[in-house]
A and B are shown apart, each in its own frame.
Chain A
Amino acid sequence: MILDKQRFWRWPLSLVIASVLAGGCSSRQSPAPAASPSTSQPQVAATISTIAALVQAVAGDKASVVSIVPVGVSPETYDPSPRDLVALAHADLIVKNGAGLELWLDKVLRNVAKPGVTVLVLTDGMPVEGAPAPGQPGNPHLWLDPLYAQAYVHKIAAALSRVDPANAGSYASNERAEIARLKVLDSWIRTHIATIPPDNRTMLTFHDAWWYFDKRYGIRDVGAIEPSPGQQPSAAYLAALINQAKALHVRAVFAEPQFSPKLAQQLASSAGIATVSNLYDDTLGTTPQLQTYEGMMHYDVDTIVKALAS
Chain B
Amino acid sequence: MDFLLAPLQQEFIVRALIASTLIGLVCSVVGVYVVLRNLAFIGDGIAHASFAGIVIAYLFKFNLYIGGLIVAVLTALGIGAISRRSDISSDTAIGVMFTAVFALGVLLMSRVRNYVVDLQDFLFGNVLSVDRTDIMLVTGLTIGVLLVVFAFYKELLFASFDPLMAQASGLPTVALSNLLLVILAVTIIVSLQAAGIVLVAALLVTPAAAAYQLTNRFDGMMAVSAAIGVGSAIVGLYASYYLNAASGSTIVLTATLCFFLALAFSPKRRSLLTQVLAARRRVQMAAR
Is residue B85 within 8 Å, beta carbon to beta carbon, of the partner chain? no
Q: Are B6 and A89 in contact (CB under 8 A)?
A: no
**Could you tell me which residues of chain B, from 143 to 180, have a CB within 8 Å of some CB in chain A?**
none
Closest approach, in angstroms, between the C-beta of A18 and any C-beta of chain B? 10
| Closest partner residue, chain B, to A113 (CB atom) | B12
Contact between A110 and B131 (Cβ–Cβ < 8 Å)? Answer: yes
- Taking CB atoms and an 8 Å cut-off, the chain A residues in 1-46 that contact chain B are 2-3, 5-7, 9-10, 13-14, 17, 25-26, 28, 30-32, 35
- Asked whether any CB of chain B lies closer than 8 Å to the CB of A262, the reply is no
Contacting pair B277 A111 (CB below 8 A): no
CB neighbours (8 Å) of B246 from chain A are 81
Are A82 and B128 in contact (CB-based, < 8 A)?
yes
Tell me whether A230 is interfacial, beta carbon within 8 Å. yes
> Does B247 have its Cβ within 8 Å of any Cβ on chain A?
yes
**In the bound complex, what is the Cα–Cα distance between A112 and B12 (angstroms)?**
6
Nearest chain A CB to B261 CB, angstrom units: 7
State in angstroms the CA–CA spacing of A212 and B189 once bound together. Answer: 43
Residues in B neighbouring A187, C-beta threshold 8 A: none
Distance (whole angstroms) from the CB of B241 to the closest CB of chain A: 5
Asked if A83 is an interface residue, CB under 8 A from chain B, the answer is: yes
Given A83-B244, A86-B10, A112-B10, residue A2 in contact with residue B277 (CB < 8 A) = yes
- Is B267 interfacial (CB 8 A cutoff)? yes
Q: Contact string, A80-98, partner B, CB cutoff 8 A, digits 1/0? A: 0111011001000000000
**Cα A10 to Cα B110 with chains together (Å):** 51
Are B120 and A25 neighbours in the complex by a CB distance under 8 Å? no
Nearest CB in chain B: distance from A34 CB, A: 12
Q: Indicate whether B63 reaches chain A with its CB closer than 8 angstroms.
A: no
- Render B269-288 as a binary contact track against A, CB cut-off 8 A, 1 for contact: 00101100110010000000
How many A residues have CB within 8 A of the partner chain? 40
CB distance from A180 to the nearest CB of B (A): 37
Q: Is the CB of B114 within 8 A of A81?
A: no
Find A6's partner among B6, B113, B265 (CB 8 Å cutoff).
B265
For B118, what are the chain A residues with a Cβ–Cβ distance below 8 Å? Answer: 107
Residue of A nearest to B278 (CB): A2
Would you give the shortest CB distance from A105 to chain B, in whole angstroms? 9
**Are A6 and B271 neighbours in the complex by a CB distance under 8 Å?**
yes
Which B residues are CB-close (under 8 A) to A231? 110, 113, 115
> Taking beta carbons and an 8 Å cutoff, which residues of A are in contact with B?
2-3, 5-7, 9-10, 13-14, 17, 25-26, 28, 30-32, 35, 76-77, 79, 81-83, 85-86, 89, 100, 103-104, 107-108, 110-112, 137, 228-232
Known: A31-B242, A81-B245, A89-B12. 20 other contacts (CB 8 A): A2-B274, A3-B274, A6-B265, A6-B271, A6-B274, A6-B277, A17-B261, A25-B239, A25-B242, A76-B115, A77-B115, A85-B12, A85-B128, A89-B10, A100-B114, A107-B131, A111-B130, A228-B115, A229-B115, A231-B115
Q: Which 5 pairs of residues, A with B, have the shortest CB-CB distance?
A: A230-B115, A104-B117, A83-B244, A112-B12, A111-B131
**Interchain Cβ contacts under 8 Å between A and B, 20 examples:** A2-B281, A3-B274, A5-B273, A9-B273, A25-B239, A26-B3, A31-B242, A32-B6, A35-B6, A79-B126, A81-B246, A82-B241, A86-B10, A100-B114, A104-B117, A111-B15, A111-B130, A229-B115, A231-B113, A231-B115
